[in-house]
Structure 1
Amino acid sequence: MCESKGRQILLPILSETVAEFSLELRREFEKRGFSTRIIPKDEFVLLPSGFQEDSEFVMGKYLSHAPKKDIHTLLEKYEIASPRSFVFPQVVYEHKDVGPHSTGIWSNEGHVYSPYVSLLHRSLDFFDQLYGEGQGGHVVQYQGGEILHRVLHRVALHHGYESVWVGFSPVEGDFSIFENESVEWDSFSDTELNLSPADADRARDFLHEFRDSRAAIGASGEESPNLSLISRTISVTQRRLRRLIEFQGGKKALIRRFISRRTRQIQTNLRAKYTVWRGLDESESHSLITDSKYIFYPLQYFRESRVTVRAQPFYDQAWLIEYLSRSLPADHELVVKPHPQQLGSLPRQAIKAIAQYAELIHPDVNSHDIIENSAAVVTLNNTVGYESLLYGKPVITLGDAFYDGAGYTHDVKNLSHLAERINEAIQSGGLSDEEILEVAHRVLSGSHKGIWSDPTEDNVERIAESLTEYLSQRLTESNNQLSGPQSR
């Protein structure tokens, strides 16, 4: 353990839905000798009892902090080339009426970014000062593109602390651990792999279960069956309503908020119906994927960090699909399926554009059927890409994916080479049976038991154990690098 950097952990939270879990996780960290400070995103993240000290620290210092250094100095220090690009993920996430091909707030060029760049300035200056005074710590946080997440990551690393990310795992009931925003799993970092007979049997069982279930990864959600979801939802809603009344003008604010949410829901439902109408029906979809040669591109939800952080150039997927459609071999079609949990998220203009250049498959068609009959799969970094590898299909990735580090995918770093890479992928014939087992093994090896946000004792204990073990290993490696070889 690197004692020079202390045993302090900073644990940012972005929503009160994980407040109880975070409190329990802090207690588990402290049992293992780590002092932990909770960092709520803003004043609207209401905290239950047990957070008084953290709340006072954040509300009294972070949220009211006035920057002392100019933003250009801070951007240069923390190697942020473009502040707008850096805050882009949070802008997209928070403006629910905005999306690719939509009109509205994006037409007021520049205005939407101003408050977010100011937040970036304040956050950089506050944590720069905090770490400079020796009050920082190692960062442990769930993956995301919010400004608080990204600033803490940059500042901690700059000052020699560890930054540990927790994220999605395709193994049900598990989570992943990684150390950068590219979501690079350690288990996919080594190109060579020798499976023991036991490893191969475990991977084979996992593979058979995946194929037999034919379920979409993540479709069942990430909530633990032990949680009282209704009770937690009521508690969170009550805290939100109290804070909304306190900060935003009482009942009128509640009414405006309700009308806004209801309007957005109606618009989403209408867009979902339009999406289905523009595409093929179920029968036509099954006929196409049975009788045609095609490349499959699964639409991704444009607001999630998989797109806004790890595939930012492809935020406008309607444009990408047009380009992809003219990069295919002459005898192949392009098949696109809407994101099943985000149907209606894209505006009509985007769906209309996509339908002009690709066959829009009905959302009820099982992705397993589309994958099995495809010649290849093109994805930004979707879990469909991982599923396709388990079927041995050639996968072309355009963004950073957790499964792209060991040579199983065809990665496109220069988009002008897309057509060439697609042809290369098709001609490769996909993965061998041995490689498929290796992918399954790497996923199992990089997954850890536990569900982030579930505050039950056993679950939190498992997560804390995995995280402190990983953090201790990282600190030991850092210590060894700092000490270096002894002089002769």
Structure 2
Amino acid sequence: MHVYTFFSVHEWLFHPTLERLRDRYGARRFSGFVWGEDQAAFLRAGSIDYAPLLVFTRDVLPRLAHAPSADLDALRRRERRYGVSIHRMLWAERHLLQRRTYDEALQLAEALFDLIERTLDEARPDCIFSEDVSCLASYIHFVVARDRGIPFVRVGGARMPGLLSVYDGAPQQWNFTRARFAELRERGLTDAERRLASTFVEEFRARPQRPSGMAQRAKLPFASSDDRRRLAVLRDKYRTDPDNPTLVAPGRSLRHRALRLARSQAAARGSLFERPVPGERFVLFPIHFQPEASTLVQAPYYLDQAALIDDLSKSLPVGHRLYVKEHLTNRGRRPLSFYRRIRETLGVRLLGPDEDTFALIRDAAAVAVITGTVGWEGLLLGKPVVSFGEVFFNMHPGVYRAGRLPKDEWYGLFERAIYGHHHDEELLLQFVAAIQQTSQPGAMRSPTTFPSVLTPERFDQLADAIVWGLREGGHGDLITETPSAQARAT
């Protein structure tokens, strides 16, 4: 089996995982894509020979300096062949568009297409593995792999503690979960399936918990021990390859932290945030963390959240306020002018990041999200949920898909969600059971921020999840279990 890996920023996590695919599941060839020489140096020092190993700062950046203008006809042909707007793929990018003109962005897209198409055609990997599609380069990998019929297994958080989502369909389209959900709706749940799903729902309702890692990301100290450790890692990586677009100069990182602290303190002094009013009817809209794939890839038409808040305020039934709650991890990230604009919007109350999200969900007439986890939490708490982007819980029939409607029809949708919604507990249990049955044990987080994922157990779980995804997708013939894998399974 030849495994190609889009490493993103997870080389410390993915490399030992691939060693387990080699030692236990018969993987014999490896190749992949990394952003910088800092990542490439780490991989070269390991026990796997990645051939080829594409390095963005070596294989793409140098050719852009003297590249001719992009061949627009060739890019149009790619759009038609792959069925995705290249502009949309460009908007998925959070790093590479800074200080680039439109023409330079098209040159970049063409260079990435040329390199990735040529590499996949020549190397002919049996499968590709990565996290969720999260940027221009991973988006191009996805559309090219789909066109060539190469299975692309992606692994991410399953929104349940200790579980990984695994799928090989379109971005954030959990196709294995969708198929199982349809099956469970058709045949109904067994007693054992219902008990397991009910236990999860009941425990969540009794003791709702934030997504794993949220508490860590919400902290804003000036310089904790974790901050100093991350800064040292960043310094070493940046020295190796300062052109790596996913890295930030250490000095700039410190200035950004100081700015966040100043903004957070100014927001507190300026009383920008209000409090909920007892007895007031409202729809809850949580501000999403940005930049992140949850909006860049899954909801590129809703990146301007202040504009969306304006539109939502025009769409609610009379007597309902729009409660806009800031995200815990956004503390200090936005200019104060962003909050002032929201506060000036008719019918809006702006709530701070420390308000109790679960209490707000319970009291809300409905929950509106772009793609955020609050939508999933609203489903679990039996609330009507309105979504705008592409997200896994859209497959639940009880979710109101505002993103599929013109804005003039949003009022009618909110009217139905608030006054005509009927919660179906059995349908919710079927959906939860489908996720439980198509998720795998493990954790998928940035090793730099969460070094706790760098354990042998996590590497084992991630390798097992990839193998499960290949088998579930009908590619079990690629896998050859070694005696060590068979013994471990036993």
TM range (shorter): 0.7 to 0.9
Picking from 26, 30, 33, the partner of 2:26 is: 33
Picking from 317, 334, 341, the partner of 1:329 is: 317
- For 1:46 and 1:239, the matched residues in 2 are separated by 14
Q: In the TM superposition, what is the alpha-carbon distance from 1:113 to its structure 2 partner?
A: 4.2
Amino acid at match of 2:237: R
Q: In the TM superposition, what is the alpha-carbon distance from 1:150 to its structure 2 partner?
A: 1.0
- For 2:136 and 2:432, the matched residues in 1 are separated by 34
Aligned to 1:414: 405
Q: In the TM superposition, what is the alpha-carbon distance from 1:171 to its structure 2 partner?
A: 1.2
Aligned to 2:428: 436
Alignment of 1:10-89 (within 5 A): 10-15=4-9, 18-31=10-23, 32-34=25-27, 35-48=29-42, 49-50=45-46, 53-54=49-50, 57-59=53-55, 70=71, 72-77=73-78, 78-79=81-82, 82-89=85-92
Cα shift readout 1:268-309 (whole Å, capped 9, x = no counterpart) = 23333454545445xx32xx1x31111111110131111011
Cα shift readout 1:159-181 (whole Å, capped 9, x = no counterpart) = 11111221122111221112244
- For 1:374 and 1:318, the matched residues in 2 are separated by 20
What SS does structure 2 have at the residue aligned with 1:58?
strand
Aligned to 1:468: 467
Q: In the TM superposition, what is the alpha-carbon distance from 1:463 to its structure 2 partner?
A: 1.7
Amino acid at match of 2:46: G
Q: 1:57 to 1:64 in 2, by over 3 A?
A: farther
- For 1:273 and 1:390, the matched residues in 2 are separated by 34
Alignment of 1:91-240 (within 5 A): 92-93=94-95, 111-185=100-174, 186-189=176-179, 190-191=181-182, 192=185, 194-218=188-212, 219-220=214-215, 233=230, 236-237=233-234, 239-240=236-237
Q: In the TM superposition, what is the alpha-carbon distance from 1:347 to its structure 2 partner?
A: 2.4
Picking from 299, 312, 335, the partner of 2:300 is: 312
Amino acid at match of 2:293: S
Q: Which runs of 5+ in 2 are unaligned?
A: 218-224, 448-452, 479-490
- Matched-pair contact (CA < 8 Å) for 1:371–1:377: yes
- For 1:436 and 1:263, the matched residues in 2 are separated by 46
Amino acid at match of 2:172: V
- For 1:209 and 1:327, the matched residues in 2 are separated by 34
- For 1:471 and 1:463, the matched residues in 2 are separated by 13
Aligned to 1:455: 454
What SS does structure 2 have at the residue aligned with 1:37?
strand
Q: In the TM superposition, what is the alpha-carbon distance from 1:47 to its structure 2 partner?
A: 3.4
Cα shift readout 1:97-143 (whole Å, capped 9, x = no counterpart) = x9xxxxxx6xxxxx444444333211211121223335344211101
Aligned to 1:264: 256
How many aligned residue pairs are there? Answer: 440
Q: 1:419 to 1:270 in 2, by over 3 A?
A: farther
Amino acid at match of 1:268: R
Q: 1:64 to 1:341 in 2, by over 3 A?
A: same
Q: Which runs of 4+ in 1 moved over 6 A?
A: 65-69, 228-232
Aligned to 1:355: 343
Q: 1:242 to 1:42 in 2, by over 3 A?
A: closer
- For 1:62 and 1:302, the matched residues in 2 are separated by 26
Among the aligned pairs, what percent are the same residue?
19
Q: In the TM superposition, what is the alpha-carbon distance from 1:75 to its structure 2 partner?
A: 4.7
Q: 1:261 to 1:64 in 2, by over 3 A?
A: closer
- For 1:122 and 1:94, the matched residues in 2 are separated by 13
Q: In the TM superposition, what is the alpha-carbon distance from 1:81 to its structure 2 partner?
A: 5.5
Q: In the TM superposition, what is the alpha-carbon distance from 1:351 to its structure 2 partner?
A: 1.4
Q: In the TM superposition, what is the alpha-carbon distance from 1:397 to its structure 2 partner?
A: 0.7
1:402 aligns with 2:403: no
Q: 1:64 to 1:439 in 2, by over 3 A?
A: same
Picking from 349, 359, 366, the partner of 2:356 is: 366
Aligned to 1:301: 289
Alignment of 1:257-296 (within 5 A): 257-276=249-268, 277-281=270-274, 284-285=275-276, 288=277, 290-296=278-284
Amino acid at match of 1:204: S
- Matched-pair contact (CA < 8 Å) for 1:278–1:355: no
Q: 1:441 to 1:475 in 2, by over 3 A?
A: closer
- Matched-pair contact (CA < 8 Å) for 2:153–2:470: yes
Cα shift readout 1:226-263 (whole Å, capped 9, x = no counterpart) = xx979984773353143157x79xxxxx9x94443333
- Matched-pair contact (CA < 8 Å) for 1:318–1:354: yes
Superposed CA RMSD: 3.2
